[in-house]
Amino acid sequence: MLTSLARELLQSLGNALQALGAYTIFFLRLLKEVPRALLRFSLVVEQVHNAGALSLVIIMLSGLFVGMVLGLQGFDLLERFGSEESLGSAAALGLLKELGPVVTALLFAGRAGTALASELGLMRATDQLAAMEVMAVDPIRRVVMPRFLGGVLSMPLLAAIFSMIGIFGAQLIGVQLMGVDAGQFWSQMRSAVEFDDVKEGVIKSCVFGVACSLIAVYEGYHSVPTAEGVGRATTRTVVISSVVVLLLDYMLTAAMM
């Protein structure tokens, strides 16, 4: 009884290790292809359109509402200490360092990651990837790589847009609705936010972009070629991405303190 439990535990530990190794090998393989993929840039541009431009509406809408909630909650909290004019700095720091990159990454995994995974999974299921191999076209180079790079390039831009719209959302509620002085809102924000805070947000969103795109293309590319397998790959993409983003977020925050 106990030995079988231990054996199972060991086995799942081994599986996790194996998955980590497979991810690393796949990532290194993608890295090796980066220079060649940049030469065929039109393919990457198409994927920037798919991952970035098409995610724009959901990112902007979410950013607006997250910013508005921040404005409302921040005002309610800060008013208790009689310092509601710090709302600008609180909202800007919260958005730039934490909410912007993390929420964007979660939305990105849901919107772009699932699209990537299901597309690649369907290609696998309908033997399109195998057909490419038969024609001596490397599917990683032709299909996976542009999708990966498109996601990596889109993510920081999406996070920046999210933060900017969020700050305007907080301003909308704080200044227009709650009556915080506009001058104090902006001047306190400008004196509190350092260049390093923006840099932290950009670094985070770049790392999340790499992680989310890698997980999406890996899961899609290695999906079981059945209808069920594609569905499972899509689900796994969202679940793994979300957990990894939150885990990485803690580690990056601790590292950049």
Partner 1 sequence: MRQTRAIELGTGLFVLLGFAALFFLVTQITNREFGLGGGGYRVLASFEQVGGLKPGAPVSMSGVTIGHVERIDYDFSEYKARVTMRIDPNYNRIPNDSDAGIYTAGLLGGQYIGIGPGGSETYLADGDQMQFTQSAIVLENLISKFLFSKAAEKQADPPAEGPKP
Residues lying near partner 1 in the complex (CB under 8 A)? 45-46, 48-49, 52-54, 56, 83, 85-86, 92, 96, 154, 156-158, 160-161, 163-164, 167, 188-195, 197-198, 201-202
In the complex, the smallest distance separating the C-beta of residue 58 from partner 1, rounded to whole angstroms, is 13
Contact present, 55 and 154 (Cβ < 8 Å): yes
Residue among 96 and 207 whose Cβ is closer to partner 1: 96
In the complex, the smallest distance separating the C-beta of residue 148 from partner 1, rounded to whole angstroms, is 17
Residue among 96 and 238 whose Cβ is closer to partner 1: 96
Residue among 93 and 233 whose Cβ is closer to partner 1: 93
Dihedral sign for Cα atoms in the order 177, 179, 181, 187: negative
Task: Report the run of H or E that residue 168 belongs to, with start and end.
Answer: helix 145-171
Residue whose token pair is 């805070």 = 197
Residue among 163 and 234 whose Cβ is closer to partner 1: 163
Measured CA angle at 223 (ends 15, 237), to 5 deg: 75
In the complex, the smallest distance separating the C-beta of residue 190 from partner 1, rounded to whole angstroms, is 5
Type of residue found at 99: L
In the complex, the smallest distance separating the C-beta of residue 27 from partner 1, rounded to whole angstroms, is 24
Residue among 44 and 240 whose Cβ is closer to partner 1: 44
CA distance 9 to 29: 30
In the complex, the smallest distance separating the C-beta of residue 49 from partner 1, rounded to whole angstroms, is 4
Other beta carbons within 10 Å of 216: 32
Structure tokens at 164: 């900017």
Residue among 178 and 193 whose Cβ is closer to partner 1: 193
In the complex, the smallest distance separating the C-beta of residue 224 from partner 1, rounded to whole angstroms, is 31
Residue among 83 and 176 whose Cβ is closer to partner 1: 83
CA distance 90 to 185: 10
Q: For residue 76, give every residue at least 6 positions away whose Cβ sits within 8 Å of its Cβ, in sequence order, or none.
A: none
In the complex, the smallest distance separating the C-beta of residue 240 from partner 1, rounded to whole angstroms, is 26
Which CA distances in Å does 52 have to 48, 64, 163, 254? 5, 17, 15, 29
Of 215, 214, 234, whose CA–CA distance to 224 is shortest?
234
